[in-house]
């Protein structure tokens, strides 16, 4: 989740972020871990490739963008992260 930074009053943003942290912490206690692999190498066991984009500055197969975070419960993937993967031109 990402709040729009311009329009939201700071206090509201802080409150939301704190709530998110609480939520994340609670999930973590139960062994739920988010998968947010930006910059890592694509792995179909954890990630779902939505599309490839040309990016010569990166090694082929690098995750350029995470469209939707994934989640793991201990070692099992609950939802794969949806990502954009780089390719050479």
Partner 1 sequence: MSRVIGIDLGTTNSCVAIMDGDKSKVIENSEGDRTTPSIVAFTKDGSEVLVGQTAKRQAVTNPENTLFATKRLIGRKFKDETVQKETKTVPFKIVEADNGDAWVEANGKKMAPPEVAARILTKMKQTAEEYLGEKVTEAVITVPAYFNDSQRQATKDAGKIAGLEVKRIINEPTAAALAYGIDKGKGERKVAVYDLGGGTFDISIIEIVDVDGEKQFEVLATNGDTFLGGEDFDNRIINFLIKEFKSESGIDLSADTLAKQRLKDAAEKAKIELSSKQQTEINLPYVTADASGPKHLNISLTRAKLEALVEDLIVRTIEPCKIALKDAGLTTSDIHDVILVGGQTRMPKVQEEVKLYFGKDPKKDVNPDEAVAVGAAIQAGVLSGNVKDVLLLDVTPLSLGIETLGGVMTKLIEKNTTIPTKKEQVFSTAEDNQTAVTIHVLQGERERASDNKSLGRFDLTELPAAPRGMPQIEVAFDIDANGILNVTAKDKATGKEQKIVIKASSGLSDEEIEKMIADAEAHAEEDKKFKELADTKNQGDALVHATEKTLSDLGEKVDQEERAKIETATAELKEALKGDNKDTIDTKVKALSEVSAPLAQRLYEEKAQEAANESNDSDKKEDKDVVDGEFEEVDDTKSADKDA
Q: Is 31 in the site for partner 1 (CB under 8 A)?
A: yes
Name the one range near partner 1 by CB under 8 A: 4-12, 32-40, 46-54.
46-54
Instruction: Return d(Cα 68, Cα 59) in angstroms, integer.
Output: 22
Tokens for 16? 């939301």
Q: Is 66 in the site for partner 1 (CB under 8 A)?
A: no
Q: CB neighbours (10 Å) of residue 64?
A: 19
Q: Is 18 in the site for partner 1 (CB under 8 A)?
A: yes
Q: Is 61 in the site for partner 1 (CB under 8 A)?
A: yes
**Minimum distance of partner 1 from residue 16's CB (angstroms):** 13
DSSP 8-state symbol, 80: P
Residues 52, 69, 32, 62, CA torsion sign: positive
The contact set with partner 1 (CB under 8 A) reads: 18, 21-22, 24-25, 28-31, 42, 44-45, 47-52, 61, 76-77, 80, 84-85, 87
């Amino acid at each position: 989740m990402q709040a729009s930074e311009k329009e939201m009053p700071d206090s509201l943003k802080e409150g939301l972020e704190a709530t998110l942290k609480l939520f994340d912490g609670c999930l973590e206690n139960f062994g739920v871990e988010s998968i947010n692999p930006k910059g890592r190498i694509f792995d179909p066991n954890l990630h779902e490739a939505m599309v490839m984009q040309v990016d010569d500055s990166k090694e082929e197969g690098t995750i350029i963008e995470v469209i939707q975070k994934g989640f793991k419960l201990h070692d099992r993937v609950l939802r794969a992260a949806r990502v954009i993967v780089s390719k050479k031109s």
